[in-house]
Structure 1
Amino acid sequence: MARRAGSADLPLHHGRVPAWLGQRMARLGAVITQAIVHHYGRDEFLRRLSHPFWFQSFGAVMGMDWHSSGITTSVVGALKRGLTPLSGELGLHVCGGRGRHSRNTPQELLDIGLRTGLDGTALGQASRLVAKVDSAAVQDGFDLYLHGFILANDGKWVVIQQGMNGQNRLARRYHWLSEGLKSFVESPHSAIEGQRGGNIVNLTDARAKASRVSQLDLLHALGPDGIADEIRRLKGKPATVAAPPDAPFLPHLIMPEHHDVRSGDVMIRRLHGALAAAADRGPKDFADLLLVPGVGARTVESLAMVAEVVHGAPCRFADPARFSLAHGGKDRQPFAVPLKVYDQTITVLKSAMEAARLGQDEKLEAIRRLDAQARQMERTATGPDLDTHIARERQRSASYGGRSVFGHEKDMAPPATTTARKG
């Protein structure tokens, strides 16, 4: 059976990603994907997308709001824009999206099938079944509004869907992974993310097999009209339902309501490890970069966090907020997006990938060493507390080309410090 990776609470946020950030997200998402495929293969990239903790961190390192539902839409959209020109090289295709784009998925899969020799009709059917299960078989009060289907040339795929509960201002994300999938109607999810909001009718749970069979038996015995009569007869009477056995323990990522990044949201020793590794490895492996006035050393710090997204094990993504410290956030939390740093990060990664395609892996290996050094140094490294680190970033934001949906930092007053917030 497909594995379930965990769950999370996601505040429902509205708004659009500005073009200046969306374009950069597409470029950074594409080059991170290239690096993962280069080091670990396409299958591993699909597994990463099916992991809710990694997915949230992936969006945070790209400058999206680190805790909100908007990461899902923006990451799927960025991958679609960034990977479509590389589909021939990588053998990866991103279909669907939000709203009307989600309804185009079956046709997109048919078109890809014609180009690749895959059975586009069967893939379209899989897309419809996945959407049907999460909208009908899992009755959790969330209405689907996003459907992203990421397909590899060998026919393996990941689906990422999201539903919203407008009344509670919550979102729930669902992850599907075709690897190991044997049934669409019994325990098919890789993960379900979202705020717990009471009892959920989940007919895909393995424990609901008897219920599924009984429902079919009732339909055959009574017919639709007979079932409707039974519902009317029982309406208003409490149902007696046996308590199910305990579900297996799953990691649960709770994304808080507060928008600012606070000390409880970040594993500070890992941040200190990344900062220390950047200071230690930077002069050795990124000497040319450090000659760039004003942004060189800061870019190496961002590269250390990007390197963890490429190379890190699943257990390292329990604090997605930490990855927002690479490139900030569009809403000025934890600080405005440092465009000079962001662009340098993309430039370094693209240069490394271009060299690797020519058989020269030295630059990519330098990035891998940066990640390895961060993990080693986090055991002993010390550094500023989170509020001090964020305050320092905000002080330097204008020199880094800081920008948010509110404008350029050079034209803005400094944002409030996190120390003034409580709760």
Structure 2
Amino acid sequence: MTGRRAGSADLPLHGGRVPAWLGERMTRLGAVIIQAILIEYGRDEVLRRLAHPFWFQSFGAVMGMDWHSSGITTSVIGALKRGLTPLSPEIGIHVCGGRGKQSRRTPDELVAIGERVGIDGAALATASRLVAKVDSAALQDGFDLYLHGFIVTDDGHWVVVQQGMNGERGQARRYHWLSEGLQSFVDAPHAAIDGVDQGMIVNLTDRRAERSRRRQLDLLADLGPDGIGRELGRLEPPAAKPPASQLALPHLIMPGHHDVRPEDIVAHRLHGNLKAAAEAGPKDFSELLLVPGIGARTVRALAQVAEVVHGTPYRFSDPARFAVAHGGKDRHPFPVPLKVYDRTITVIKAAVRKAGLGHSDELAAIKRLDQQSRRLERLVSGPSVEAVFAEERSRSHEYGGHSVFGPEPPPGDAGNRMSQN
């Protein structure tokens, strides 16, 4: 891959913090999903997934974060750093950086990792600084960087996920870099850029800007900084020109509305998930995985986690669908079902642990669940998206539903429910 751009997305800016009860679970589920991908496909595939903007958004949604907001980036990077750091000596994947002050510590973290595992940490630190400079200076698109996550393997391969914000527009843009095949930091280096379309921007990293970059260096050599300033002062404002054509890119457009609507979900894929979970059967599945208490609702969540582990890129065009696994912290599409969430973690963790001991039957069963979803979605229909959400909300208290408003009250407790909306 040489400077492949994987697309862009409109990410609404959302404030607030991830509650501790969700952050702790995101840490555990995120780490175990990465371990499953590592076992099945290897370290480089983990990096490729993180460099894919559609997969990244779906990954955050399946962990119970707001399905469309900028907060997914911060929370996913934070969860992976907390969850994978204790495992890094074993799995050879290291998560550095983060938001604000943490981002500025990234070069020092990379140098320390290099000394510890025997890779060129200084070169990695330089790469980190260059990546940040390119997306803050060479690419002038109206977004100020505030988050920088650098994930590196013991082989020295890496991915960067960083994000900028445009406060006036209430939008965020996420940028993905992948070291695989990277030949230049300034000539079309991005694996992906996620964010709202801003129209005409200054992008000096585009291959078509190579002549401009070269001429800027010539001007600096000929005139010096003061001479360039004088020449700029003599220039008249240019006449308006139509924008140059842009290279066609796939765009992940995350809408401004907070609620999940039917049009945000590819229904036949959801029906495949639901039907595959029903056919697997809670009795058969719990016997296979030797985990007591696994019911039909948990198997439904496992079907979507299985897709995050095994799905191909086109499967992630509707990240909202993955919020059906564990809901969202703001009750969209429904409160986070903590009992289901905890059982999902238990099942995947047991499967990963046994696979590490050479017994892969459980991980194979999860893979079959994903394969069954894809086979059935072409053949079956199912309840409407609204009906799925309504059932989930009606049983939320039973599932241990939680949101930023607190525990979900029992059905019929109208007073409490009104206070939570």
TM band (smaller chain): over 0.9
| Change in CA separation of 1:360 and 1:291 when aligned onto 2, cut-off 3 Å | closer
What residue ranges of structure 2 are gaps of 5+ in the alignment? none
8 Å CA contact 1:290–1:297 kept in 2: the answer is: no
8 Å CA contact 1:2–1:178 kept in 2: the answer is: no
* Deviation of 1:406 (Å): 0.3
Report the 3-state secondary structure (helix = DSSP H, G, I; strand = E; otherwise coil) of the residue aligned with 1:76: helix
Distance 1:139 1:415 in 2: 45
- RMSD in angstroms over aligned alpha carbons? 1.7
Distance 1:200 1:35 in 2: 40
8 Å CA contact 1:335–1:394 kept in 2: the answer is: yes
Q: Residue 342 of structure 1 aligns with which residue? A: 341
Q: Residue 211 of structure 2 aligns with which residue? A: 210
One-letter amino acid matched to 1:286? S
* Deviation of 1:2 (Å): 2.4
Report the 3-state secondary structure (helix = DSSP H, G, I; strand = E; otherwise coil) of the residue aligned with 2:11: strand
Q: Residue 403 of structure 2 aligns with which residue? A: 404
| Change in CA separation of 1:297 and 1:208 when aligned onto 2, cut-off 3 Å | same
| Change in CA separation of 1:239 and 1:184 when aligned onto 2, cut-off 3 Å | farther
Please state if 1:286 is matched with 2:265: no
| Change in CA separation of 1:191 and 1:291 when aligned onto 2, cut-off 3 Å | closer
1:245-260 superposed matches below 5 A:
246-247=246-247, 249-260=248-259
Report the 3-state secondary structure (helix = DSSP H, G, I; strand = E; otherwise coil) of the residue aligned with 1:400: coil
8 Å CA contact 2:408–2:417 kept in 1: the answer is: no
Report the 3-state secondary structure (helix = DSSP H, G, I; strand = E; otherwise coil) of the residue aligned with 2:147: strand
* Deviation of 1:410 (Å): 2.2
* Deviation of 1:219 (Å): 1.0
Distance 2:240 2:249 in 1: 27
* Deviation of 1:240 (Å): 6.9
Distance 1:272 1:205 in 2: 41
8 Å CA contact 1:93–1:150 kept in 2: the answer is: yes
Distance 1:410 1:90 in 2: 41
Superimposed CA distance per residue, residues 376-397 of structure 1 (whole angstroms, 9 cap, x where no aligned partner): 0111112110011101000000
* Deviation of 1:217 (Å): 1.0
Where has structure 1 moved over 2 Å in runs of 4 or more?
239-246, 282-293, 410-416
Distance 1:219 1:150 in 2: 36
One-letter amino acid matched to 2:225? P
| Change in CA separation of 1:336 and 1:375 when aligned onto 2, cut-off 3 Å | same
One-letter amino acid matched to 2:28? R
Q: Residue 50 of structure 1 aligns with which residue? A: 51
* Deviation of 1:288 (Å): 6.8
Distance 1:196 1:367 in 2: 38
Please state if 1:384 is matched with 2:383: yes
* Deviation of 1:179 (Å): 0.2
Query: Structure 2 length as normaliser, TM-score?
Result: 0.95
* Deviation of 1:246 (Å): 4.5
Report the 3-state secondary structure (helix = DSSP H, G, I; strand = E; otherwise coil) of the residue aligned with 2:324: helix
| Change in CA separation of 1:210 and 1:271 when aligned onto 2, cut-off 3 Å | same
| Change in CA separation of 1:260 and 1:116 when aligned onto 2, cut-off 3 Å | same
8 Å CA contact 1:137–1:203 kept in 2: the answer is: yes
8 Å CA contact 1:290–1:296 kept in 2: the answer is: no
8 Å CA contact 1:356–1:364 kept in 2: the answer is: yes
Distance 2:314 2:28 in 1: 26
* Deviation of 1:284 (Å): 3.1
Q: Residue 419 of structure 1 aligns with which residue? A: none
Please state if 1:175 is matched with 2:187: no
One-letter amino acid matched to 1:254? I
Distance 1:49 1:290 in 2: 31
Distance 2:246 2:393 in 1: 47
* Deviation of 1:223 (Å): 1.1
Superimposed CA distance per residue, residues 328-347 of structure 1 (whole angstroms, 9 cap, x where no aligned partner): 00011000000000000000
Superimposed CA distance per residue, residues 20-68 of structure 1 (whole angstroms, 9 cap, x where no aligned partner): 1000001000000000000000000100000000000000000000000
Report the 3-state secondary structure (helix = DSSP H, G, I; strand = E; otherwise coil) of the residue aligned with 1:22: helix
Superimposed CA distance per residue, residues 306-358 of structure 1 (whole angstroms, 9 cap, x where no aligned partner): 00000000000000000000000001100000000000000000111111111
* Deviation of 1:221 (Å): 1.3
Distance 2:292 2:364 in 1: 21
Q: Which moved more, 1:281-290 or 1:307-316?
A: 281-290
Q: Residue 64 of structure 1 aligns with which residue? A: 65
1:28-177 superposed matches below 5 A:
28-177=29-178
1:404-423 superposed matches below 5 A:
404-410=403-409, 413=414
* Deviation of 1:241 (Å): 6.4
Query: Structure 1 length as normaliser, TM-score?
Result: 0.95
8 Å CA contact 1:5–1:51 kept in 2: the answer is: yes
Distance 2:417 2:186 in 1: 49
Q: Residue 238 of structure 1 aligns with which residue? A: 238
Distance 2:151 2:124 in 1: 11
Report the 3-state secondary structure (helix = DSSP H, G, I; strand = E; otherwise coil) of the residue aligned with 1:163: strand
| Change in CA separation of 1:140 and 1:253 when aligned onto 2, cut-off 3 Å | same
Please state if 1:265 is matched with 2:271: no
* Deviation of 1:243 (Å): 5.7
Q: Which moved more, 1:277-286 or 1:142-151?
A: 277-286
Report the 3-state secondary structure (helix = DSSP H, G, I; strand = E; otherwise coil) of the residue aligned with 2:409: helix
Report the 3-state secondary structure (helix = DSSP H, G, I; strand = E; otherwise coil) of the residue aligned with 1:258: coil
Report the 3-state secondary structure (helix = DSSP H, G, I; strand = E; otherwise coil) of the residue aligned with 2:15: coil
Distance 1:255 1:243 in 2: 24
1:323-342 superposed matches below 5 A:
323-342=322-341
* Deviation of 1:230 (Å): 1.6
* Deviation of 1:187 (Å): 0.1
8 Å CA contact 1:50–1:158 kept in 2: the answer is: yes
What residue ranges of structure 1 are gaps of 5+ in the alignment? 417-423
Report the 3-state secondary structure (helix = DSSP H, G, I; strand = E; otherwise coil) of the residue aligned with 1:185: coil
Number of positions where the alignment pairs a residue of Structure 1 with one of Structure 2: 413
| Change in CA separation of 1:156 and 1:297 when aligned onto 2, cut-off 3 Å | same
8 Å CA contact 2:291–2:347 kept in 1: the answer is: no
One-letter amino acid matched to 1:13? H
